[in-house]
Amino acid sequence: MTTKIINFNIKGDTRGSLIACEQDHNIPFDIKRVYYIFDTKENVVRGKHAHKKLEQILICVSGSCEIKTEESGQTKTYLLDSPTQGLYIGGLVWREMFNFSKNAVLLVLASDYYDETDYIRDHQNFLELN
């Protein structure tokens, strides 16, 4: 299985909450890139691709969104609505992100730099490799 929810430890005190993401501690890969997705319009579906090698953790640090994953003929839908949870996606997994709330900010930690050659954007091609 190459998708799983990671629950982060909260460093909370009377002032509020803080979560630290640390490579090799609560993040199971070296973090080479961080990006975030925000201001996604209503009814938009993002993603619609798989990666050959990239590992990522998706954290909805504000608002909510849903992630549909597909691998080995199985689909799962995850609701990300808390900054205390991350969705790990590794390997050959088709992913679609949808139902973004107005204030949604999806933070992504990635194991490698941006590389278009690592993307599989054709679903039929993905099914043949999966």
Number of residues that bind ligand T46 (CB under 6 A): 11
Question: 88 — phi, psi (to 5°)?
Answer: -80, 130
Tell the smallest beta-carbon distance from residue 22 to ligand T46 (Å).
21
Position among 95, 99, 105, 126 found at the interface with ligand T46 (CB under 6 A): 95
What is the Cα 30 distance to its own chain's centre? 15
Cα separations in angstroms, 94 against 8, 10, 36:
24, 30, 19
Determine the interface stretch with ligand T46 among 10-18, 20-28, 32-40, 73-81 (rule: CB under 6 A): 32-40
| Annotation marks residue 123 as catalytic | no
Distance CA 105, CA 74 (A): 27
Chain positions contacting ligand T46, by CB under 6 A: 33, 35, 37, 46-47, 56, 58, 95, 97, 108, 114
